[in-house]
Structure 1
Amino acid sequence: MHVSADRTVCVGAGLCALTAPEVFDQDDDGLVTVLTPDPAAALHRGARQA
């Protein structure tokens, strides 16, 4: 699995970071950042849900 985020459509709600904090975070403007673009299999479910 490879994770990416389209920051041009991010609304900054933070649900991705709450759902999969090992994979996503928010920058100072509240927009998504991907911490782990290729997460381990154990993190796939959370990343998909986010």
Structure 2
Amino acid sequence: MISAKDTREAEDKLRAAMKPFVDRLFTQRQEAVALAEQATKKPASDGAGSGEQR
């Protein structure tokens, strides 16, 4: 039978191994959200091409 200590140690090792990947995914998600927000903003200049009517 696997002891609780062995389980904790295995979980800690797994977390440590996954941390760089999780951090990278979090960073990529933040960048994607920023790009999406930037893409949905209306241009501040004259609004040309944004569907505005004058």
Structure 1 length normalisation: TM-score? 0.18
Structure 2 length normalisation: TM-score? 0.17
**Higher RCO (C-alpha under 8 Å, 6+ residues apart):** 1
Task: Give the number of the structure whose alpha-carbon radius of gyration is greater.
Answer: 2
Bigger helix share? 2
